[in-house]
Structures are given as structure tokens and as C-alpha cells.
Amino acid sequence: MRRREFLAAAVVAAAAGPTAALAAPLAPDDQALVERAAAYLDGLNEARGRFVQTDPRGQTSEGELYLDRPGKARFEYQNPPTMLVIADGHTVMVYDRRLKTRNRYPLGSTPLALFLQKHVRLDKIDITDVDRFEGGFSITAKGGAHGVHGQITLTFSDNPVALRQWSIIDARGGRTTVRISDLQPTRGLDPDLFVQRDPLVPG
């Protein structure tokens, strides 16, 4: 995979793989954590924060993210400033300024649909593991629902619950991780942030 594909994988789509068999029902304590995570995501209507992404080669990039649920998100890669990813409510557009390419994906076929749907339903994905650690917990899912092909792990802090990172393992075994910091609810985000205006076209 080329570098731009590594970058896009974190917020667009894990490489396609076979749909996993259904996991066993969750224990009540695990189900309670899943419900807490879903309630938190469901209440995160508008937010902004920072992200650091590490691709399967260990290369990192960082930038700023904006969420406007349902359906809208923006990832501005600022270091290096080569990528721009915009979800406008229907599609996700990935712009690569360095390679001068643009790729469009249906929103529902990407992992972003997990966070951006009108009502977050983590019970609709095939959850295979819920892990606890000091100060937080993680939820791992496999399968084909909501663009989850391969494996995705969502990591949350506890007390209060907050999304800290997600990690995708593709069909080749490559891992891409996006760490989130300073994700804060906000109001009045500029609607132009989520307009798929091509930055590759001058003006």
C-alpha cells in the first residue's frame, strides 16, 4: 500500500476482509460498558480536537478534527499538511494535496459511520472483546457492519467516558491508530468545514 492509502485507512476504510462469525453474547458488565460508550458517542453532537495518526510503517501525522453529527466530520492533516478528509453527511472525500488525488467513499461503508450515524448503535457491530485497564476500557469488533472490515478497537477513558483512540487492523495485518486529544464539545461550527470543496482546485 502507498503512504496515502495508509493515511486514508484510519478514517475511511479498513482493507476488505471476510466477515467474522458472530461473537458470543457479552457478559452483563461488558454490555454495560458498551452501552456507556454508545451513550457518550450519541451525545457528542458537535466537537473539535486534535489527532495523531500512526500508520502500519510507524510513520506519524497529526492534525485537527471536527465532528458535527449526524454525518459530518473533517480531518485536517497539518503535520505534514498533505491530506484532507471530509464527510458531508453522505460521502467521505479524501484529498491528497501531494499526489493531487481525490477519492470518494459512501459514508456508510467507512468506520466513520460508527461515530456519525444519527443514533449510535454499537450493538449492531460484532463485538468480540471488551477490555478494562486503569482509567479506561476498550471495545473490539470484527465484521462487515458500518465499514468495519478486518478489526477495529475503540478506546475510551473512564469517569468521565471520552473517546481516546481507535485502531484498525486491515486484512493484511497492518495496524493504523488514531489517538485523540482535547476532544471537546462545541457549538456553532462553520458549515463550510464540511463542504467538499476541492483544495486541489485554485480558488
Taking only the tens place, the pLDDT of each residue in 79-131 is 778 889 999 999 999 998 888 888 998 988 887 887 788 888 777 778 889 99
> What pLDDT, on a 0 to 100 scale, did the predictor assign at position 20?
42
**Cβ neighbour number for residue 123 with a 10 Å cutoff:** 11
> What pLDDT, on a 0 to 100 scale, did the predictor assign at position 50?
96
Distance of alpha carbon 84 from alpha carbon 134, whole angstroms: 34
Residue ranges, the chain, pLDDT below 70: 1-24, 143-150, 200-203
Residue (of 49, 21, 36) closest to 178 by Cα position? 49
Report yes or no on whether pTM surpasses 0.75.
Answer: yes
Distance of alpha carbon 101 from alpha carbon 104, whole angstroms: 10
> What pLDDT, on a 0 to 100 scale, did the predictor assign at position 192?
94
Distance of alpha carbon 70 from alpha carbon 2, whole angstroms: 31
Cβ–Cβ under 8 Å, residues 92 and 85: yes
The structural domains of the chain, ordered by start, are: 3-184 (2.50.20.10)
> What pLDDT, on a 0 to 100 scale, did the predictor assign at position 118?
86
Q: Is 33 helix (H, G, I), strand (E, B) or coil?
A: helix
